[in-house]
Copies of this chain bind each other. A is one copy, B any other.
């Protein structure tokens, strides 16, 4: 079967390729009658333009790349939803790349994307990333970038984040108000700004209420989940005075539940727990988990919106376009007072 491309259409209609191309783009240079003829045949033959030829010629791919640590984190799944929604509305495609929080993978992915495969990149940085030269190099390649959630502020571009500091402050105060005095903080990673912001909110809230900081109560998570559980177990056993846990990321909140169960610590009677999470089913937990819930869908949509605007207007992205959205503290039984 002969391929159906512009040449084929042109031959069958006795027109030039140029006219057919213009007709399909609804160019004013083509008469209405010709446009009609072309469109009729195009749909009849199920013509679909070759995306690669078009991309090559126009030097734009109508595709954005999304680089995230993992897709099994519900936050990122929701964010992708928002991204895909915004992208589809403008006729853009979405390429997904997973770093698995691994620095080397992130570098390889970014390098690859510099081949012009995408018009822009949305990125949430891997927790294993320390050096950011690979990200900076995107600027030379002229590929616009917008960070979301896990950002690196030393890169001058827009970022879409949540009010991590404030919500951590608020969550910590919530634990304090519930009577907690020895609150452990489970940190996602030292490399990530969201981790640092959340830690700072926790610290400042303690300080504001006259509680001294206790470095032993701060546990930095790793990529290895079993290791996290083990360390948390050690901590809880050595420090029976712990009466509150603030997990700065969903996975660690779940680990906290498991550890409390194993050690026979009752939630919320013995220990109150609050954690960042986007899982809808936390309300079914035993007991329902008090969460800080980020507007994940909106974050994705907003980040995509900023990126696509820049891509289409061919305008550079400045840090001033950054957006901060508010998370919500949802109180459930895991922090209830007797």
Contact = CB atoms under 8 A, between A and B. Distances in A.
Could you say which of A46, A112, A258, A281 has the most chain B C-beta atoms within 10 Å of its C-beta?
Answer: A281
B285 A287 contact: no
A264 interface: no
Contacts of A111: 46, 48
A127 B71 CA distance: 22
A117 B93 CA distance: 10
A52 B56 contact: yes
Contacts of A81: 70-72, 98
A51 B117 contact: yes
Contact of A49 (B71, B98, B115, B137): B115
A275 to B, nearest CB: 11
A114 B48 contact: yes
A115 B51 contact: yes
Given A56-B56, A117-B93, A80 B84 contact: no
A78 B84 CA distance: 18
A77 B71 contact: yes
A286 interface: yes
A140 B3 CA distance: 10
A24 interface: no
A116 interface: yes
A61 interface: yes
Contact of A77 (B77, B117, B137, B282): B77
Interface string A111-124: 11011110000000
B56 A80 contact: no
A95 B65 CA distance: 9
B56 A84 contact: no
A126 to B, nearest CB: 15
A74 interface: yes
A72 B85 CA distance: 13
A217 interface: no
A177 interface: no
Contact of A257 (B50, B94, B117, B284): B284
A1 B140 contact: yes
A52 B49 contact: no
A98 B115 contact: no
A52 B113 CA distance: 12
A254 interface: yes
A258 B84 CA distance: 30
Contacts of A285: 281, 284-286
26 contacts: A46-B111, A46-B114, A46-B137, A48-B112, A50-B116, A51-B115, A51-B117, A52-B56, A63-B95, A71-B77, A72-B74, A72-B77, A74-B74, A80-B96, A93-B117, A94-B95, A94-B97, A96-B96, A258-B283, A258-B284, A279-B279, A281-B281, A281-B285, A284-B286, A285-B286, A286-B286
Which A-B residue pairs are the 5 nearest by beta carbons?
A286-B286, A48-B115, A52-B55, A52-B56, A51-B117
